[in-house]
Amino acid sequence: MAALIDYGSFYDLFKQGGLDVTQSDYDSFSLYAETLCEWNERMNLTAITDPLGIAQKHFYDSIYPFSLLIVSRETPLSLADIGSGAGFSGLALKLWYQNMDVTLVDSLNKKVGFLQAAAEKLDVEVKCVCGRAEELARTEEYRESFDVVTARAVANLRVLCELCLPLVKVDGKFVALKGKDAEVSEAKGALRTLGGEISQVLKYRLPDEDERSAVVVEKIRETQDRFPRSFGRIKAKPL
């Protein structure tokens, strides 16, 4: 069985979000889906393996919210995807926004191994980093160094703010991809403490009607040196 729905169906799916997929885009997504399914037999990367599920819940879900924020596919931005796992949303975004300077971060070695192999197969240049976000944020190289930091399905928003906001440049953005519940009210204190301000909460549906939110946070001030704390502290005493 093919790993992805055919080009016509994939085109129609993305068209529902106003996105025009070319044959060459499709070929890349298809190769990504194939590689994902192949590796998924050896290690646990995703529970979603049906061709339509991969198209909607991985590719569309990764790209559609960003298409509302970054209209031109040529925009050059630096973006870090924290807890990238099998590459959602960061590696999928790189296929859509080819001038994006993408860094994929995951704390698990084997996931980073997959990301490297997939990027190589797809012939795209992305930086794959094995590490914990809160530790990278304490290094000079990564702290406040990205235009955009994003994360999907890594932690609740309150905790995620402390993992991600220290990596965002002042005037940059943190975009959290969430389910129906955007978890905004519990995260207000953390956002303020870390120098963030919510600019918008996008509410939308996938083509299969599943409800999603994307929380867009503007970094308005530098993050104080004492953040992020160790993961133990972040979990035990969330801001």
Separation in Å, CA 86 to CA 32, 150, 222, 239: 10, 14, 31, 29
Q: Tokens for 233, please give them.
A: 């502290």
Q: Which of 21, 70, 122, 133 binds ligand SAH (CB under 6 A)?
A: 133
DSSP code for 75: -
C-alpha span between 186 and 52 (Å, rounded): 34
Q: Which of residues 175-234 bind ligand SAH (CB under 6 A)?
A: none
CB nearer to ligand SAH: pick between 108 and 220:
108
Amino acid letter, residue 177: L
Task: Name the one range near ligand SAH by CB under 6 A: 105-113, 194-202, 203-211, 213-221.
Answer: 105-113
CB nearer to ligand SAH: pick between 25 and 106:
106
For helices 109-122 and 23-40, angle between their N-to-C axes, nearest 10 degrees: 150
CB nearer to ligand SAH: pick between 54 and 216:
54
For the bound state, the minimum distance from the C-beta of residue 2 to ligand SAH, rounded and expressed in Å, comes to 21
CB nearer to ligand SAH: pick between 83 and 172:
83
**Cβ neighbours for 22, distance < 8 A, ≥ 6 positions apart:** none
CB 122 within 8 A of CB 98: no
Q: Which of 33, 55, 60, 85 binds ligand SAH (CB under 6 A)?
A: 85
Task: Name the one range near ligand SAH by CB under 6 A: 66-74, 80-88, 116-124, 184-192.
Answer: 80-88
Task: Name the one range near ligand SAH by CB under 6 A: 117-125, 128-136, 184-192, 213-221.
Answer: 128-136
For the bound state, the minimum distance from the C-beta of residue 138 to ligand SAH, rounded and expressed in Å, comes to 12
Q: Which of 2, 27, 76, 108 binds ligand SAH (CB under 6 A)?
A: 108
C-alpha span between 161 and 187 (Å, rounded): 8
Q: Which of 28, 35, 107, 145 binds ligand SAH (CB under 6 A)?
A: 107
Here's the x/- map for ligand SAH, 32-71, by CB under 6 A: it reads as: ----------------------------------------
- 42-53: b (≥16 Cβ within 10 Å) or e: eeebbebeebee
Separation in Å, CA 225 to CA 8, 144, 187, 228, 239: 51, 11, 20, 8, 15
Radius of gyration of the chain (CA): 17
Q: Which of residues 140-159 bind ligand SAH (CB under 6 A)?
A: 152-154
CB 124 within 8 A of CB 90: no
By CB under 6 A, name the binding residues for ligand SAH. 82-86, 88, 105-108, 111, 132-134, 152-154, 163
